[in-house]
């Protein structure tokens, strides 16, 4: 079942979670941030699993999900290679098989927590999962084609088509990452063929890196001797090269591409409410290629910290499960978890600012109510604004997606102005005499 954020609290509360072997329990409902383009988030209860079942795995797509038919599909290797090649899936399966477990995390995970607020998919904790990926080493495929000495980057293309005039989702990998033995082209996720949503028939696995580099529905790779200039490399998915104060606008030219994930952790249990007494807190932590070596827990909003125990092994790339016994007294408490990796990176208490909302990894405070009875569901929030829908709103803005894209945002008028300009550039038809009332409406309805 898919539910929208509005019903999330209700539906989430109804889920009964066994302490282990989550897969045997009732299926979790993914939260729909947008139905199409499809952006689905895993609720925090999903962090009980070391390996995330495919049914609980978040989905993120910039455009429509393509239905690839295997007989029509091939992978093309082009550009600066000795021999341009194409492969069917059966041909790729002739290479030595490679398999590993790795976290797949959207660079925008946690964007909703940035202050000031930023535009984009408003992920909380759950645009991340951990899976076993099976396929071939990208290096083996590239070596078969013979990469020329001038090679610098590998351009990756998927079968998804852009909407309107939006730039096609194209990404590049630096040669060193492409040739790394852990970088794969995978056709299996958790032992089954990739589902359509997750990239059938083939996707890139770039372990330790944010998932904007994990191109789905892969059809073509082109070896380049220069930096690719496309929108999703040059403008999107960048972060400031240096520390900047929150709210600072940074020129994309002064930013570097997002690559490595940050060390991070999430509390799976308890969530929102629990009975007083001894609580077996559980969750996971993850990092980049450097394994997680320490998780600390605070049950008093960060005043004091104690070490959690690990209940799974340290690995590069994967989730590491932790547990912590907490004697919880009645009342309201602020829980926090903070992970550290072998490289000495630790989750900060204050988030590092990113103008596009990427790579959030602050130790996020979570409020939990400890009481003998479950608190009443919060009453339905009254409509924030009764402004009438401006003329032309649906005609201008509902062609490629619905209101989910707008209603999840919390933006100032200036930010809405930039969003409408971006969408107009992508093909939204906004009549000049309707633009002001459209901005008034969006800024009044979906404000910080």
> 39 vs 45, which CB is nearer to ligand HEC?
39
Number of H helices, E strands in the chain: 9, 25
> 41 vs 296, which CB is nearer to ligand HEC?
41
- Both structure tokens of 67: 């239905």
> 106 vs 138, which CB is nearer to Mo ion?
106
What, of ligand MTE, Mo ion, ligand HEC, none, does residue 397 touch, CB below 5 to 8 Å by kind?
ligand HEC
Q: Does 212 interact with ligand MTE (rule: CB under 6 A)?
A: yes
- Both structure tokens of 382: 């009254």
Q: How far apart are CA 28 and CA 337, in angstroms?
A: 23
> Helix, strand, coil: what percent of the chain each, to 5?
20, 30, 50
Give the sign of the dihedral formed by CA 126, CA 130, CA 134, CA 136.
positive
How many residues in the shown chain lie near ligand MTE by CB under 6 A? 20
What, of ligand MTE, Mo ion, ligand HEC, none, does residue 264 touch, CB below 5 to 8 Å by kind?
none
Q: How far apart are CA 235 and CA 224, in angstroms?
A: 19
Q: How far apart are CA 423 and CA 400, in angstroms?
A: 10
CB of 422 to ligand MTE, least distance (A): 16
DSSP state of 367: E
Site pattern 5..44 for ligand HEC (x: CB under 6 A): --------------------------------x-------
What, of ligand HEC, Mo ion, ligand MTE, none, does residue 430 touch, CB below 5 to 8 Å by kind?
ligand HEC
From the list 22, 38, 56, 62, which residue makes contact with ligand HEC (rule: CB under 6 A)? 62
> 37 vs 291, which CB is nearer to Mo ion?
37
The interface region with ligand HEC, picked from 1-9, 171-179, 206-214, 420-428 by CB under 6 A, is: 420-428
The interface region with ligand HEC, picked from 24-32, 77-85, 90-98, 394-402 by CB under 6 A, is: 394-402
Q: Does 106 interact with Mo ion (rule: CB under 5 A)?
A: yes
> Strand 273-274 vs strand 366-370: parallel, antiparallel, or unpaired?
parallel
What residue spans of 149-217 are helical by DSSP H? Answer: 175-178
For 425, residues 6+ apart whose C-beta sits below 8 A from its C-beta are 165
Binding to ligand MTE, residues 362-421 (CB under 6 A): none
Site pattern 184..223 for Mo ion (x: CB under 5 A): ----------------------------x-----------
- DSSP-based three-state secondary structure for 162: coil
CB of 360 to ligand HEC, least distance (A): 16
Give the sign of the dihedral formed by CA 93, CA 98, CA 99, CA 103.
negative
Q: Does 61 interact with ligand MTE (rule: CB under 6 A)?
A: yes
Contact 388, 432 (CB under 8 A): no
Q: Does 58 interact with ligand MTE (rule: CB under 6 A)?
A: yes
From the list 124, 177, 180, 198, which residue makes contact with ligand MTE (rule: CB under 6 A)? 198
What residue spans of 2-66 are helical by DSSP H? Answer: 8-13
> 154 vs 261, which CB is nearer to Mo ion?
261
What, of ligand MTE, Mo ion, ligand HEC, none, does residue 209 touch, CB below 5 to 8 Å by kind?
none
DSSP state of 117: -
Q: Does 217 interact with ligand MTE (rule: CB under 6 A)?
A: yes
Q: How far apart are CA 379 and CA 364, in angstroms?
A: 25
The interface region with Mo ion, picked from 71-79, 106-114, 225-233, 313-321 by CB under 5 A, is: 106-114
DSSP state of 315: -
Q: Does 169 interact with ligand MTE (rule: CB under 6 A)?
A: yes
Q: How far apart are CA 96 and CA 430, in angstroms?
A: 53
Q: How far apart are CA 440 and CA 444, in angstroms?
A: 6
From the list 68, 77, 106, 221, which residue makes contact with ligand MTE (rule: CB under 6 A)? 106
Nearest to ligand HEC by Cβ — which residue?
Answer: 164
Partner residues linked to 123 by β-bridges: none
Q: How far apart are CA 322 and CA 282, in angstroms?
A: 6
Instruction: Say how many C-beta atoms besides its own lie within 10 A of residue 260's C-beta.
Output: 15
Q: Does 30 interact with ligand MTE (rule: CB under 6 A)?
A: no
Output the CA–CA distances (angstroms, integers) from residue 314 to 22, 294, 298, 324, 335, in the order listed.
21, 10, 22, 17, 24
From the list 130, 172, 211, 408, which residue makes contact with ligand MTE (rule: CB under 6 A)? 211
Contact set with ligand MTE (CB under 6 A): 57-62, 104, 106, 158, 160, 169, 197-199, 211-212, 214-217
Contact set with ligand HEC (CB under 6 A): 37, 62-63, 119-120, 163-164, 166, 396-397, 399-401, 405-406, 409, 419-420, 422-423, 426-428, 430
């Amino acid at each position: 079942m898919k539910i929208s954020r509005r019903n999330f609290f209700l539906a989430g509360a109804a889920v009964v979670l066994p302490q282990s072997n989550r897969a045997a329990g009732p299926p979790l409902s993914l939260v729909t941030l947008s139905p199409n383009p499809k952006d689905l988030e895993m609720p925090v209860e999903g962090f009980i699993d070391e390996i995330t079942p495919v049914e609980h795995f978040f989905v993120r797509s910039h455009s429509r999900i393509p239905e690839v038919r295997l007989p029509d599909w091939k992978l093309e290797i082009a550009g600066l290679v000795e021999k341009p090649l194409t492969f069917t899936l059966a041909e790729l399966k002739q290479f030595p098989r490679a398999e590993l477990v790795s976290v797949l995390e959207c660079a925008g995970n946690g964007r909703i927590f940035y202050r000031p607020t930023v535009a984009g998919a408003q992920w909380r904790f759950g645009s991340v999962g951990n899976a076993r990926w099976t396929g071939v080493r990208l290096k083996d495929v590239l070596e078969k084609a013979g990469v020329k000495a001038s090679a610098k980057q590998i351009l990756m293309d998927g079968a998804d088509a852009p909407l309107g005039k939006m730039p096609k989702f194209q990404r590049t990998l630096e040669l060193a990452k492409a040739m790394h033995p852990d970088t794969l082209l995978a056709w299996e996720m958790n032992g089954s063929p990739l589902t359509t949503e997750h990239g059938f028939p083939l996707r890139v696995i770039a372990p330790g890196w944010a998932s904007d580099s994990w191109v789905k529905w892969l059809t073509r790779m082109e070896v380049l001797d220069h930096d690719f200039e496309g929108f999703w490399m040059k403008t999107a998915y960048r972060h400031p090269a240096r520390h900047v104060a929150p709210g600072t606008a940074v020129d994309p030219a002064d930013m570097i591409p997002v690559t490595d994930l940050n060390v991070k952790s999430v509390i799976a249990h308890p969530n929102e409410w629990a009975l007083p007494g001894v609580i077996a807190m559980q969750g996971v932590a993850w990092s980049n290629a450097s394994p997680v070596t320490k998780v600390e827990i605070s049950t008093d909003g960060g005043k004091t910290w104690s070490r959690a125990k690990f209940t799974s092994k340290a690995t590069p790339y994967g989730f590491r499960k932790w547990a912590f016994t907490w004697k919880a007294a009645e009342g309201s408490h602020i829980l926090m978890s903070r992970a550290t990796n072998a490289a000495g990176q630790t989750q900060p208490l204050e988030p590092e600012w990113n103008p596009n909302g990427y790579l959030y990894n602050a130790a996020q405070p979570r409020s939990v109510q400890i009481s003998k009875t479950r608190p009443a569901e919060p009453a339905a929030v009254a409509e924030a604004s009764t402004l009438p829908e401006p003329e032309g709103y649906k005609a201008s803005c509902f062609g490629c997606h619905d209101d989910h894209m707008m209603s999840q945002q919390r933006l100032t008028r200036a930010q809405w102005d930039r969003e409408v300009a971006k969408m107009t550039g992508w093909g939204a038809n906004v009549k000049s005499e309707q633009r002001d009332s459209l901005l008034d409406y969006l800024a009044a309805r979906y404000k910080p």
